[in-house]
Structure 1
Amino acid sequence: MKKLIFSLIVIVLLIGISYLGFSYYIGAELPSMVSSLLTSHLSVSTFTEPVDIVIPKGKSLNYVSNLLYEKGVIKNASWFNYQAQLLGVDTKIKPGSYTIEPTMTFNDIFSLIQRGTPIKPVILSIPEGHTIFQIAAEVEQMGFGTAEEFIIATEEIFALKDLSFNTENLYFVMEGYLLPDTYHFTITSTPKDIALRMATTMSEFLESNYIERMNELDISTHEVLTIASLIEREAYSVDEMTTISGVIHNRLNINMLLQLCPTVIYGYGKGEEHLSRVLYSHLQYENSFNTYLNLGLPPGPIAAPGRDAIHAALFPEDHDYLFYALSTDGHAFSKTYAEHLRNVTKLRRLQGDN
């Protein structure tokens, strides 16, 4: 009996010692075990370059975690959300532009996105005379989306604004209706955001400056932008824009072919390609934009005119010029064809000497 009691005491002691040892082990090792487990699921990915993100106002923790996952910063969005909620970060996220460094821990990231910073602007500069095809390429290059998405967006905006002009022979319905300028966007801006902003800026510019003048001349917005686009592509400098505008208006008034090479280039390339040199065969290429073959204005703008060209379209210089020839520092203007031929001969001689 004594042996049995002794054996039971020994067993109880062994169990107690084992329990105490296990408890001590768990107490000492559990944090590192949990940390290791969380680290395997929550650790940042092995990215080597800083990653820029933008958190817009009102975005949730899910938005942030999915963004970080898509950018390759974290390995598991769900675990990121879980730990952020434990720390109360989910209710403290602030909008801003943030840079995630490869050396950052999760605590660093949690701390960062609670600070709030101004969202960094992305500058998009569109030069005067660009076509929609060229603008779309610029939008894609800046990382706002694809060129195709931008072109589709312009078509959607055309429907949205309910513009009333014939689109039958146009390659891009909003050609000429996007005002060239330097714009500030964010990296979250979409192609539609950009197209709508440019179109709205154009309409506001026209409405605030030229409605009375357009009514005075009895000219439509579409005609103004078409003439302005021709001036934009033809003028050597801003200084001669009103003079070129006068030539265009003079020819239109006497029902004379405009004979402008940029219209040939635009029509031949369907608004997408550019000719480095215009040949006689190009002049004979039949399309609705070719002003060597068709009287009057082309069916629409051939590029995006800037403010100076639009002003020149509405305020042409009053003169009798019908011709001009490109010189080394601008155009030589003339009233008669004979005078024009003399200018061309003279200019070719100068070019030959150079």
Structure 2
Amino acid sequence: MKKFAWFLFILIMLSFGTYYYLPSYLSTTSNTATIEITVPEGASLNYVADLLYKEGVIKSKLWFKYQSQQEGIDRNIKPGSYTLHPNIDFEEIFSLLQKGTLEKPIIVTIPEGFTLYQIAKRTEAVGLGTAEEFIEATKQYFDRKEYNFDTEKVFYEMEGYLYPDTYYFSEKQTVSDVVNTLAKTMEAVFTEEYLKQADEMNLSVHEVLTIASLIEREAYHDQERAAISGVIYNRLKRNMLLQIDATVIYGIGKGQEHISRVLYAHLEDPSPFNTYRTQGLPPGPIAAPSKASIHAALYPEDHDYLYYVLGEGGHVFSKTYREHEINVANYRRMVNQN
């Protein structure tokens, strides 16, 4: 009887402590150093929670989202660059997120499918340092993060690792701040679900980003991303050359120049990015993929297609080379008529 009474007493005390102290504990930040984050235009509550959690600012994404919804913050998140000091509570974070911090923002839009070199030139055009400084900052970020993939054959170490979106920066921010924001935004895209799916597919993040970049450059519209992804996996399983024109273009231009038309002579280019000659995936991403392309890379459509060619309003898919030849002939006829 005494043991039961002690057990009941301990249970009551634990419940009391959980009820009164746990919310307070979860509602304070856990970062021991000042953290700088940038929230892009249109960022969702899930995005902000993932970003804060990965930066070590909050202890629980679920609790942060619950409190945000209770306060109505989820409908009033403003874009901006935020400085988060250690030991602040959620109320201060909520206040910042609702007010925004940029009086005269420098707005830069990075389109989906841009190469790192194009991103560098775009940030230079809006006054965020020079392209050379941007590229150097990506090298420094790469060295700090200690990524574990082979960089011997790539043109830019961080190619594909900078997320394409619209960003709001202040004049006080450095080129390194810009690179950090773009890289951390991409890191936040890889949720626990995505990382688990990649692991189940026996793929590294580098391979996922590489496949996603191919999808990004090949897809005509959103609805066919998963289908193109399926073709890539089907060809890889059969040890077929991927034969993707976008990789040829990237290799010939060394990640900088862009040719508008691929000629037969280009298909003989010895670049490791030439998937008409090199088996398997190219050494790395060829562009900045969107979340939609990353999702397609992780969740390919299950089908038997091995080929596709541009048609009217999108790509036409086929299972045999004979069918593909017919579709190619139809495409050429359509081009000549126009």
Q: Same fold (TM over 0.5)?
A: yes
Indicate whether 1:353 and 2:337 are aligned. yes
Counterpart of 2:210?
226
8 Å CA contact retained: 2:139, 2:158: yes
Indicate whether 1:335 and 2:319 are aligned. yes
Q: Which runs of 5+ in 2 are unaligned?
A: 1-100
Query: Which of these residues, 296, 301, 312, is aligned with residue 296 of structure 2?
Result: 312
Which SS does the other structure have where 2:279 is aligned?
coil
**Correspondence 1:212-291 to 2 at 5 A:** 212-291=196-275
8 Å CA contact retained: 1:176, 1:301: yes
Counterpart of 1:20?
none
The one-letter code of the counterpart of 1:162 is: E
Q: How far 1:251 moved relative to its partner?
A: 0.4
CA distance in 1, matches of 2:280, 2:130: 35
Higher deviation after alignment, 209-218 or 176-185: 209-218
The one-letter code of the counterpart of 2:227 is: T
Q: How far 1:209 moved relative to its partner?
A: 4.1
Identity rate, percent: 56
Change (3 A) 1:207 1:161: farther
Change (3 A) 1:154 1:335: same
The one-letter code of the counterpart of 2:114 is: H
- Between 1 and 2, higher relative CO (CA 8 Å, sep ≥ 6) is seen in 2
Q: C-alpha offsets along residues 161-199 of structure 1, whole Å, 9 cap, x if unaligned?
A: 111000000100000000111111102222111111111
Which SS does the other structure have where 2:220 is aligned?
coil
Which SS does the other structure have where 1:326 is aligned?
strand
Counterpart of 2:23?
none
CA distance in 2, matches of 1:312, 1:279: 29
Q: How far 1:217 moved relative to its partner?
A: 0.8
Q: Which runs of 5+ in 1 are unaligned?
A: 1-116
CA distance in 2, matches of 1:228, 1:188: 33
Indicate whether 1:150 and 2:134 are aligned. yes
Query: Which of these residues, 114, 120, 125, is aligned with residue 130 of structure 1?
Result: 114
Counterpart of 1:169?
153
Larger Rg: 1
Indicate whether 1:197 and 2:166 are aligned. no
Q: How far 1:118 moved relative to its partner?
A: 5.8
Q: How far 1:328 moved relative to its partner?
A: 2.8
The one-letter code of the counterpart of 1:165 is: F
Which SS does the other structure have where 2:156 is aligned?
coil
8 Å CA contact retained: 1:131, 1:271: yes
CA distance in 2, matches of 1:313, 1:272: 25
8 Å CA contact retained: 1:325, 1:344: yes
Q: C-alpha offsets along residues 276-334 of structure 1, whole Å, 9 cap, x if unaligned?
A: 11111111011110000000000000000000000000000000000001113110100
Which SS does the other structure have where 1:277 is aligned?
coil
CA distance in 2, matches of 1:118, 1:264: 41
Counterpart of 2:84?
none
Q: C-alpha offsets along residues 218-238 of structure 1, whole Å, 9 cap, x if unaligned?
A: 110000000000000000011
The one-letter code of the counterpart of 1:207 is: T
Q: C-alpha offsets along residues 19-45 of structure 1, whole Å, 9 cap, x if unaligned?
A: xxxxxxxxxxxxxxxxxxxxxxxxxxx
Which SS does the other structure have where 2:108 is aligned?
strand
Which SS does the other structure have where 1:123 is aligned?
strand
* TM-score, normalised with respect to structure 2: 0.69
8 Å CA contact retained: 1:144, 1:188: no
**Matched pairs, number:** 238
**Correspondence 1:55-66 to 2 at 5 A:** none
Query: Which of these residues, 114, 119, 123, is aligned with residue 103 of structure 2?
Result: 119
* TM-score, normalised with respect to structure 1: 0.66
The one-letter code of the counterpart of 1:282 is: H
The one-letter code of the counterpart of 1:243 is: A
CA distance in 2, matches of 1:353, 1:176: 37
CA distance in 1, matches of 2:119, 2:291: 17
